[in-house]
Amino acid sequence: MGHLLFVAAAGGLVAAVIWLGTDRDDRLSHTLVRPAVMALLSLLLLVILAEAEFWAYSLSAAAAGIGLWESYLGAYLLMSAPVSRTGPVAQVRTTARWLLNTLANLMLLNLSAQLAFPHTFEWRGIPASALDVAYFTVLTFASGGYGDVLPASPLGKLLAMLTSVSGLLFATILFAALFHRLREE
């Protein structure tokens, strides 16, 4: 169980590093979200060191929730307002950052749920490992799922729907932004 918690914390730290790596004048970076996520992740690391599992689950789920809010707000801003730098490299960098941010937060959310409720995701009737949950998240985000790792509870089904819809939204927004740029030129 401890290694799953470590993987969940690592996913949160990846998301935090992506936020901290954004440009200061980039419209996708938000001044209130970064400190909140960093504070939650700092508390999460302290809780992990103190081995208080309940608080670690709660804090990692809160960090993932805030991160997903940031991702969806970033998607809205990506569609509604132009990014300050408009070259092709800046657009690819912004889109890649948004993709990694969304995937890291979905993975953190799914791992947190698996930690708190071990039978959220199952593989052949046994609770899924951290690698199985990461595999499930990426595959469900990209294609709707393969079917070998399954959600085994109502919470797991809700998270599977959230992950799948996030993948569809990402593809839709990416193509809409691409066609919008092509129509402008």
Q: How confident is the model at residue 28 (pLDDT cuts 50, 70, 90)?
A: very low
Helices 53-80/88-116 angle, 10° precision: 150
Region of poorest pLDDT, from 22-36, 56-70, 143-157? 22-36
C-alpha angle 129-135-140 in degrees, rounded to nearest 5: 125
Structure tokens at 185: 């030129």
Per-residue model confidence as pLDDT tens digits over 111-157: 777 777 788 888 888 888 878 888 888 888 888 777 788 888 888 88
Per-residue model confidence as pLDDT tens digits over 74-101: 555 554 555 455 566 566 666 776 777 7
Q: Which amino acid is residue 97, in one-letter code?
A: R
* Residue 117: partners with Cβ closer than 8 Å, 6 or more residues away: 153, 155
